[in-house]
Amino acid sequence: MTMVHQNNSRTKKELVDERSPLLVDEKDGGSKGASLSGSVFNLSTSIIGAGIMALPAAMKVLGLGFGIIGIVFLALLAECSLEILIRFSRVGKAETYGEVMRYSFGSVGNWAFQICILLNNFGILVVYMIIIGDVLSGTSSSETHHAGVLEGWFGEYWWTGRTFVLLVVTLFIFSPLAFFKRIDSLRYSSALAVGLAIVFIVIMAGITFIKLFNGSIAPPRLLPYVTDFTSVWKLFTAAPVLVTAFVCHFNVHTIDNELADSSLIQKVVRASLVLCSSVYILTASFGFLLFGESTLDDVLANFDADLGIPYGSLFNDIIRVSYALHLMLVFPVIFFSLRFYLSDLLFPSARSIDLDNVRFVLMTTGLIISSYVAANFIPSIWDAFQFTGATATVCLGFIFPAAIALRDPNGIATKKDKVLSFVMIVLAVSSNVVAIYSNINTIFNKNVDPHE
């Protein structure tokens, strides 16, 4: 009986690997042996993304004190949801997030997972494009225009405008990288992307410390502005941004499969969350300290003014260009998984998309065009995070793992699991419903800033 089960599992796995270039299992190849430190780095890279640029704006909404508490709380909640997801995957012998959803809720569960992955990843790509547009072409907030790098260098012309600049970036950077059929082909661009992100964080921290020491930064606001019932509701608009910052659940199975000792996965998760929480707290705090109540939705757009330090203009350009290049190089990695999951959803019985040239070209072209159009119509990354973070992302990070524990197909959930899962769902749904409602009100009332 055991032998039959093993053979069935192997056959199923071989079929999955044949159809999915994303799922590379090292077990059968004998090369499984990722280290603890390497796995922590990989998961941390999955966690830290474009959401980091909106964290200073979230700190502006909540105040420095509540903002730090919010980041720590979401990190702890993410650790709980990841622990539930991993434990139930172990018992159900699920090797991917989609498999544990299918095991718990059938084909409907897997379908819901795929839809959320598509919305989440597409939202991330749009956010990347918006940030790149902000950095290179500038952005406007409260009738104030913040010049982009190209505007600062060459002046305000049609060819330095957002629409044209994003078109050039899409045609000459995104498109060539997006048409690679193997994600391994992107390994060098991904390594460079990590280095560029580090440059951004180090320089921003250095500028903040210099200004702290020379006393040119005002004391930060520790608490949010709460004057009426409406202002209380606006606090919830920060929730989707914080939720988005810690969602890495769809990558944890791949990292788990590569570990030399799978029992170390919990240590990997905890170490990664501690590392990323520290980076988030520092970045959000430094950004809010530097710009205070003038902090924009995309903090990179703030780096267009005099920083009050020697070579401030040079540092401004280095910070903005380094992170814009970072996003350009990360874009195709996110795009790769988006294209795969969309193909898997629309053509579940077809052969792998990299083996069908017509489908590959059509889907790649369609997704690139859709991302470009959305980035030109969505006004800011705050608006993008409000809807993707409050819907698909919160489902992937918190609602689905909690629902798996409540469903409890193997009868292993403890009373603590069920209580925690119930609380997790209530918190996630209520806070994000309020955030969506508040953001919709803001869209229809142009005179109100949702995080002012």
> Which positions ≥6 away from 159 have C-beta within 8 Å?
165
Residues 6+ apart with CB under 8 A from 200: 319, 322, 323, 326
pLDDT of residue 363: 93
Over residues 110-138, the pLDDT tens digits come to 889 888 888 888 888 888 898 888 888 87
What are the CA-CA distances from residue 298 to residues 35, 58, 77, 246 (Å)?
A: 35, 10, 25, 18
Per DSSP, the three-state class of 180 is coil
Of the candidates 3, 6, 12, 16, the one whose C-alpha atom is nearest the C-alpha of residue 254 is: 16
Annotated domain spans of the chain = 36-444
pLDDT at 168: 93
Contact of 44 with 270, CB cutoff 8 Å: no
Q: How confident is the model at residue 272 (pLDDT cuts 50, 70, 90)?
A: confident
Asked whether residue 40 carries a pLDDT value surpassing 50, the answer given is: yes
Task: Flag whether pLDDT at 389 surpasses 70.
Answer: no
For residues 200 and 319, is the Cβ–Cβ distance under 8 A? Answer: yes
Q: How far apart are CA 70 and CA 216, in angstroms?
A: 27
Provide the percentage of residues in the chain whose pLDDT is more than 90: 14
What is the DSSP pairing of strand 144-146 with strand 139-141?
A: antiparallel
Stretch 199-221: mean pLDDT, rounded? 82
Q: Given this model, what pLDDT does residue 451 score?
A: 45
User: Is domain 36-444 in CATH 1.20.1740.10, yes or no?
Assistant: yes
- 381-388 and 97-137 are packed helices; what angle lies between their axes, rounded to 10 degrees? 170
Residue 259's beta-bridge partner residues? 34
pLDDT in tens, 173-200: 889 888 887 655 665 666 677 677 778 7
Contacts of 13 (CB under 8 A, 6+ apart): 25, 95
Is the pLDDT reported for residue 9 higher than 50? no
Greatest mean pLDDT range, 236-250, 299-313, 329-343, 361-375? 361-375
Radius of gyration (C-alpha) of the chain in whole angstroms: 22
Which residues 6+ apart lie within 8 Å of 323 measured at CB?
53, 131, 135, 196, 197, 200, 300
What gap in Å lies between CA 282 and CA 259, rounded to an integer?
29
Single-letter residue type at 269: V
State which amino acid sits at residue 204.
Answer: M
Angle at 387 between CA 429 and CA 130, to 5 degrees: 150
Average pLDDT across the chain, whole number: 79
Q: What is the pLDDT of residues 233-266, one digit of tens each?
A: 777 777 777 877 888 887 787 778 767 777 888 8
